[in-house]
């Protein structure tokens, strides 16, 4: 009996200690970087049509100008049918495979040289194999890291989380950058290949790194930096002519962004804006494993998104949202008009279906629509761009509660509730 009492006392002490070690975390200092100037969507659609037509002609040994013109015309028709239009959905995207400094004439993008992954397109219409594209990814990611920290007066972070679904190497670009900077004491965590929902496991990891250091390590950590390097245009497929590939080629944009996680008390001394995490939730949708995939291929990463995905989101997002908000003591049905929304714009239909399922006015989708319009779908980098917009928006007051949700392979639905501070 005495031993049982001692065990009970020990358990009570551990439970009390766990409650005392609760560590609120704030995300702030959002810094997007650009490696190439954004290109108007109409120009990009012309470029995509041109190079897809070239690849098709080379693969079929088409030589006559008449046949080439016919292929180009049919490709443009398919792009017009399946693409996210500039008038309604996307006005521009950052597409780093086009060197606009060399290919812009008379104010428009022209077709003077093949894009980076396809410099061999006239010999091999499939373009460069992945081992060569990987080198391009490493160069771009390292450049993005350098620009994230240029002119920064902050000390090195305690930890860096590198997030991407568009390329990998070991040593990683994060490790190469830290070595070049001489930041040998910064830890690195790699959060790879989760697609569009990748920012959420990253912020969960950042919270864990900070909380664990305060709860069980001798030296608490003050800052974890999260850096996204999504070089998605590296994976455009000029040969595939199925509707899904047309959508991918005209929807995705490259995105690079850095932001930081701070313990709440540390953040309060900095006199700046941020988002304090209140709740998180992740859920797998039953019987949906085959609806979305992202797999390395011989030439690029092959992504497949079923046309059923928007309807699946429509069916499941409301229950998910109710449960997520409940964790933050929010009654979704009663308070949904008071919330700010950052729903990942995986495509125009996904935003529309989520809005419809949640019973929201279109005005509530402005953050998602604006980011899609200015950048396209940047996979994991999209959510941080939405969070940045919310942090910087004067119209969204301190104390506002933000609900952010994203979707990815699995199908995975994941979300977070923040408070603007």
Angstrom distances, CA of residue 167 to CA of 75, 311, 354: 28, 30, 30
Segment 38-96, tens digit of pLDDT: 999 999 999 999 999 999 999 999 989 999 999 999 999 999 888 877 768 999 999 99
Taking the whole predicted model, whether its pTM rises above 0.75 is answered as: yes
> Which candidate, 88, 87, 105, 1, places its Cα nearest to that of 47?
105
On whether the 25-34+131-268 domain is CATH 3.40.47.10, my answer is yes
How large is the average pLDDT for residues 89-114? 81
Q: Report the alpha-carbon distance of residue 329 to residue 332 in Å, rounded.
A: 9
Burial readout 332-365 (b: 16 or more C-beta within 10 A, e: otherwise): beeebeebbbbbbbbbbbbbbbbbebbebeeebb
274-420 fold: Peroxisomal Thiolase; Chain A, domain 1 (3.40.47)
Q: Report the alpha-carbon distance of residue 36 to residue 147 in Å, rounded.
A: 12
Kindly report, as residue ranges, where domains of CATH 3.40.47.10 are found in the chain: 25-34+131-268, 274-420
Segment 174-218, tens digit of pLDDT: 999 999 999 999 999 999 999 999 999 999 999 999 999 998 888
Segment 384-400, tens digit of pLDDT: 999 999 999 999 999 99
Tell me the two tokens of residue 401: 């509660």
Q: Is the pLDDT of residue 340 over 50?
A: yes
């Amino acid at each position: 009996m005495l031993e049982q009492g001692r065990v009970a006392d020990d358990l009570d002490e551990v439970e009390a200690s766990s409650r005392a070690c609760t560590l609120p975390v704030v995300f702030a200092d959002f810094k997007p970087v650009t490696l190439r100037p954004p290109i108007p969507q109409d120009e990009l659609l012309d470029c995509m049509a041109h190079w897809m037509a070239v690849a098709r002609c080379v693969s079929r040994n088409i030589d006559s100008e008449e046949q080439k013109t016919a292929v180009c015309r049919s490709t443009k028709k398919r792009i017009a049918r399946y693409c996210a239009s500039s008038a309604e959905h996307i006005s521009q995207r950052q597409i780093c495979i086009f060197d606009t400094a060399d290919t812009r004439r008379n104010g428009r993008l022209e077709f003077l040289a093949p894009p980076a992954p396809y410099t061999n397109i006239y010999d091999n219409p499939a373009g460069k194999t992945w081992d060569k594209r990987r080198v391009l990814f490493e160069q771009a990611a390292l450049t993005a890291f350098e620009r994230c920290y240029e002119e920064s007066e902050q000390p090195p972070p305690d930890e860096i989380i590198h997030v991407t679904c568009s390329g990998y190497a070991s040593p990683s670009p994060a490790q190469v950058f830290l070595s070049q900077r001489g930041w040998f004491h910064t830890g690195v965590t790699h959060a790879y290949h989760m697609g569009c929902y990748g920012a959420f496991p990253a912020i969960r990891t950042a919270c864990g790194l900070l909380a664990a250091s305060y709860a069980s390590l001798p030296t608490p950590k003050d800052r974890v930096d999260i850096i996204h390097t999504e070089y998605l245009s590296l994976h455009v497929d000029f040969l595939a002519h199925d509707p899904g590939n047309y959508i991918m080629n005209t929807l995705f944009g490259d995105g690079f962004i850095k932001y930081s996680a701070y313990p709440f008390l540390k953040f309060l001394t900095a006199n700046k804006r941020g988002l304090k995490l209140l709740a998180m939730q992740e859920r797998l949708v039953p019987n949906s494993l085959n609806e979305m995939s992202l797999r390395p291929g011989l030439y690029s990463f092959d992504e497949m998104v079923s046309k059923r995905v928007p309807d699946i989101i429509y069916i499941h997002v409301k229950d998910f949202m109710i449960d997520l908000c409940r964790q933050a003591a929010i009654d979704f049905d009663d308070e949904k008009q008071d919330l700010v929304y950052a729903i990942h714009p995986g495509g125009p239909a996904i935003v529309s279906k989520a809005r419809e399922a949640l019973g929201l006015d279109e005005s509530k989708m402005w953050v998602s629509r604006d980011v899609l319009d200015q950048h396209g779908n940047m996979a994991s980098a999209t959510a941080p761009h939405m969070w940045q917009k919310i942090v910087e928006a004067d119209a969204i007051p301190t104390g506002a509660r933000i609900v952010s949700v994203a979707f990815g392979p699995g199908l995975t639905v994941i979300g977070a509730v923040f408070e603007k501070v």
